[in-house]
Structure 1
Amino acid sequence: MRHPAPAQCPATEESHARPGPLAGLKVLDLSRVLAAPWATQILGDLGAEVLKVEQPGGGDDTRRWGPPFLEDGSERPDAAYYLCANRNKQSLAIDFARPEGAALVRRLAEQADVLVENFRTGGLEKYGLDKATLCAANPRLVYCSITGFGHTGPYAARGGYDFLIQGMSGLMSITGRPDGVEGAGPMKVGLPVSDLFTGLYATISILAALRERDRSGQGQHIDCALLDSQLALLVNQGMNYLVGGVVPRRLGNDHPNVVPYRDFAAADDYIIVACGNDGQFRALCRMLGLHEMAEDPRFATNSGRAQERRAVELALARAIAPWKAADLLAAMAEAGVPGGPINTIDQVLADPQVAARGLLQSMRRADGTPLTVIGYPGRFSRTPASYRQAPPWLGQDTEAVLAETLGLATEEIARLAAAGVVQCAAPRAARQDAELPA
């Protein structure tokens, strides 16, 4: 089955010119992979100036995490994984394992409002880039550390990865098909949600610390851990245990509290039914011709339906099975019953609602290579997110930042590059086929 191409919105001159809500904020990004780069990309989308410091020669690990790669004619193209979390940043390739490189990063930190890093606990001390050293030199600095387990506790020295955290946090124990059915067993979520949740919590924490700095004039250290963040996102399942004392289990696509709230098989596809209140359930029953169920006092409340889950879901499954999925969803929408399809990625990116919201943005890299990105989801009435710079290639901005921000002479930058302390990317020829859609 062919699907229409995603509708794209070009990054307009207006969005480039209009300052975002974080315009003027300077962020030094010493991170790689996903959790911390996700946080700094959000800050960049909202107008902050983000300087991403990477290791010369290789850069962020995710530049190689492909295929797929963005084909741009270079010998080492960047992977899609890197491109998802590194727009609105400038790339500086500085080897801060060497004293001269570390000194450059310390100078950049003296001018920064925010520093974000995701090295193991204590990993930056030997370079003089730890929170104590940098915050002493710049007391207004908000220094955010992102690790697997935080800077305290018996696991502080361990490395943490998303898959590991999904398992340790209990998330995988409630994700997957229930015991006793085909395919039963724990399952990770299809996205690195523990990384992404931590990036979001880090962003919120940074903005809160900046707001407090407005009053006190002092920065502070923020310690964000993947395990802590994922534990906080256990939400109702965690409270179900704390209040009810029963350990939550895998339910497949069933909801632990709400009935009906799951997928059902129509004649030609699966659809989702999500009745969040009693009125919606009654409307669904009437629409399906289940008038007796709509009036049955056993099913009048969610509590009653939860006790009779099996009977409710079997009756609904029988009534839904003859319907074509599109016809059923249209009838549900008219009846005010929440529901929807189970889209593939290509289908949702081509959805008219996605186009209407402008969620796909067209950008182009400095050499003209076109790139479509999924944009920032929040809508600001006066100071919207912007798409000023596509994800940079390694060292793209080293020379310009060292010259303009630190005042280094061209000869000094050339000396540092020759010594391997920094890497300055060679300019690439502009592509001739890089026109953005109008």
Structure 2
Amino acid sequence: MTTPPRSRALDGLVVLDLTRVRAGPTCCRVLADFGADVIKIEAPPGVDPNENMSGPRHGYDMQNLHRNKRSVTLNLKRPEGREVFLRLVKNADVVVENFRPDVKDRLGIDYETLRRVNKRVILASISGFGQTGPYRDRAGFDQIAQGMGGLMWVTGLPGQGPVRAGVAVADSTAGIYAATGILVALQERERSGEGQWVHTSLLQAQIALCDFQAALYLVDGKVPGQAGNDHPYSTPMGVVETADGFINIGVGGEGHWASFCRAIERPDLMQDPDFATQAERFRNRPRLREILANVFSQRTSAEWLERLEREHVPAGPIYRMDEVFADPQVQHLGMAAPVHHPARGEIRVVGQPVALSRTPASVVSAVPDPGEHTDEILARAGYQAGEIEQLRRAGVV
């Protein structure tokens, strides 16, 4: 396997990564894939009682979240470890952490402390509920944010009770928002010459992700409910069962409706007053759903997708994960990025979904072993070999 060149988009950017689990690592992954020197700072073995929270080191999740990084071990609970960390901060551009808000204060690595060491440094903090407020010190997890952010009461079939999304949407979104904030702060630093504190939370990210459902309440005062696989206000849009499976259809405006009726060979539906407009179709959705259930049961998914595509009606298959990565368009987009791991051999991880024409993202290295780069990183910070060895014997690195 040929290793692609490292992206040069963020070349020269030094990021100290104190994160674990998902939200923080998602943020740092964006920066690492675009060429930043992301230094993963980890506790020496046996220091952190939750060191296995992110799963096995060679497991699929760690491989996907922590590629393209270097690793240094450092015991931040020791004064000597904090001193080493602050020395690294002197030449860093960004520090990313997702501790509970009080932890960085106890460790003495809060923003004001970092700013005194390096006024250009940007601290990005991701928490469960925010850096201030009555829930500040609560531990947060993705599903808790899904519940508090409103997602679980708009997900699932009507009347079945709250349902979580099948992926960690609050975690992932908070990480992406944090990365966005970092890039904004870096651009602003070009003008001011100073860094700043960027912070977001799982709760904020989840509410923002609800978007139009949240706006429905804020603007119109209506509380959205569960709609299952149906769109909240457009129809027919959602899942239909075919002779051999399921597909998604998306009929928006009146032009789509006319094309849809031609595709399913039911032009009579265009003349039915119950379906004459989007509002009427929505009002009479149960009857329309019953008609379409009978129609779509007559042909296979592949046949229907071909017919709908021919009439330019938005539609698509509903894949299991193996089918996702077998799809020719997904393969064309390069969403499975190959990388070599010393223990696992040739593996694939999820590629970056953003394409840049001159400086694209790249996956060039797998997850490092804990502390794999400690010596070279500390040497670059000015430590002599004897000093590094003394720190190691003392359990600081």
Please give the range of the TM-score, normalised by the shorter of the 2 chains: over 0.9
SS at match of 1:313: helix
Q: What is the CA distance between 1:152 and its match in structure 2?
A: 1.2
* Aligned residue in 1 for 2:394: 419
SS at match of 1:84: helix
Q: Does 1:21 align with 2:9?
A: yes
* Aligned residue in 2 for 1:241: 217
Q: What is the CA distance between 1:353 and its match in structure 2?
A: 1.1
SS at match of 1:213: helix
* Aligned residue in 1 for 2:186: 210
Instruction: State the alpha-carbon separation in 2 of the partners of residues 251 and 188 from structure 1.
Output: 14
- Cα distance, 1:222–1:64 mapped onto 2, change above 3 Å: closer
SS at match of 1:247: coil
* Aligned residue in 2 for 1:429: none
Equivalence map 1:75-86=2 (5 Å): 77-86=57-66
Any conservation in 1 of the 2:120–2:193 contact (CA below 8 Å)? yes
Any conservation in 2 of the 1:258–1:302 contact (CA below 8 Å)? yes
Q: What is the CA distance between 1:213 and its match in structure 2?
A: 0.6
Instruction: State the alpha-carbon separation in 1 of the partners of residues 327 and 50 from structure 2.
Output: 32
Equivalences, count:
396
* Aligned residue in 2 for 1:94: 74
Instruction: State the alpha-carbon separation in 2 of the partners of residues 249 and 188 from structure 1.
Output: 14
Instruction: State the alpha-carbon separation in 1 of the partners of residues 194 and 271 from structure 2.
Output: 62
Q: What is the CA distance between 1:63 and its match in structure 2?
A: 5.3
Per-residue CA distance 1:88-122 (angstroms, 9 max, x = gap): 11111111101111111111111111111111112
Any conservation in 1 of the 2:125–2:199 contact (CA below 8 Å)? yes
Q: 1:158 aligns with which of 114, 128, 138?
A: 138
Q: Does 1:201 align with 2:177?
A: yes
Any conservation in 1 of the 2:27–2:176 contact (CA below 8 Å)? yes
Of 97-106 and 271-280, deviating more is 271-280
Instruction: State the alpha-carbon separation in 1 of the partners of residues 293 and 152 from structure 2.
Output: 27
* Aligned residue in 1 for 2:318: 342
Q: Does 1:293 align with 2:281?
A: no
Q: 1:407 aligns with which of 372, 377, 382?
A: 382
Q: What is the CA distance between 1:342 and its match in structure 2?
A: 1.1
* Aligned residue in 2 for 1:41: 29
Q: Does 1:379 align with 2:355?
A: yes
- Cα distance, 1:52–1:420 mapped onto 2, change above 3 Å: same
Unaligned 5+ runs, structure 1: 1-9, 70-76, 423-438
Q: What is the CA distance between 1:288 and its match in structure 2?
A: 1.2
SS at match of 1:272: strand
* Aligned residue in 2 for 1:190: 166
Any conservation in 2 of the 1:62–1:79 contact (CA below 8 Å)? no
Equivalence map 1:351-390=2 (5 Å): 351-365=327-341, 369-390=345-366
Instruction: State the alpha-carbon separation in 2 of the partners of residues 361 and 63 from structure 1.
Output: 25
Instruction: Work out the percentage of aligned pairs sharing the same amino acid.
Output: 40
Of 263-272 and 312-321, deviating more is 312-321
Q: What is the CA distance between 1:311 and its match in structure 2?
A: 2.0
Calculate the TM-score normalised by the size of structure 2.
0.95
Q: 1:398 aligns with which of 364, 370, 374?
A: 374
Instruction: State the alpha-carbon separation in 2 of the partners of residues 51 and 109 from structure 1.
Output: 11
Instruction: State the alpha-carbon separation in 2 of the partners of residues 380 and 62 from structure 1.
Output: 35
Q: What is the CA distance between 1:389 and its match in structure 2?
A: 1.9
Q: Does 1:228 align with 2:224?
A: no
* Aligned residue in 2 for 1:259: 235
Q: What is the CA distance between 1:344 and its match in structure 2?
A: 0.4
* Aligned residue in 2 for 1:106: 86
Calculate the TM-score normalised by the size of structure 1.
0.86
Q: What is the CA distance between 1:309 and its match in structure 2?
A: 1.6
Q: What is the CA distance between 1:409 and its match in structure 2?
A: 1.9
SS at match of 2:44: coil
Instruction: State the alpha-carbon separation in 2 of the partners of residues 341 and 61 from structure 1.
Output: 41
Q: What is the CA distance between 1:125 and its match in structure 2?
A: 2.0
Q: 2:110 aligns with which of 123, 126, 130?
A: 130
* Aligned residue in 1 for 2:128: 148
Q: What is the CA distance between 1:321 and its match in structure 2?
A: 1.1
Q: Does 1:57 align with 2:45?
A: yes
* Aligned residue in 2 for 1:430: none
* Aligned residue in 1 for 2:156: 176
RMSD over aligned CA atoms reads 1.8
Instruction: State the alpha-carbon separation in 1 of the partners of residues 206 and 142 from structure 2.
Output: 10
- Cα distance, 1:175–1:62 mapped onto 2, change above 3 Å: farther
- Cα distance, 1:160–1:11 mapped onto 2, change above 3 Å: farther
Q: Does 1:250 align with 2:238?
A: no
- Cα distance, 1:140–1:65 mapped onto 2, change above 3 Å: closer
SS at match of 2:316: strand
SS at match of 1:123: helix
Instruction: State the alpha-carbon separation in 2 of the partners of residues 110 and 379 from structure 1.
Output: 32
Instruction: State the alpha-carbon separation in 2 of the partners of residues 355 and 392 from structure 1.
Output: 27
Per-residue CA distance 1:319-374 (angstroms, 9 max, x = gap): 11111111111111111111111100011111111111122121113568322111
Instruction: State the alpha-carbon separation in 2 of the partners of residues 316 and 383 from structure 1.
Output: 47
Instruction: State the alpha-carbon separation in 2 of the partners of residues 263 and 371 from structure 1.
Output: 33
* Aligned residue in 2 for 1:120: 100
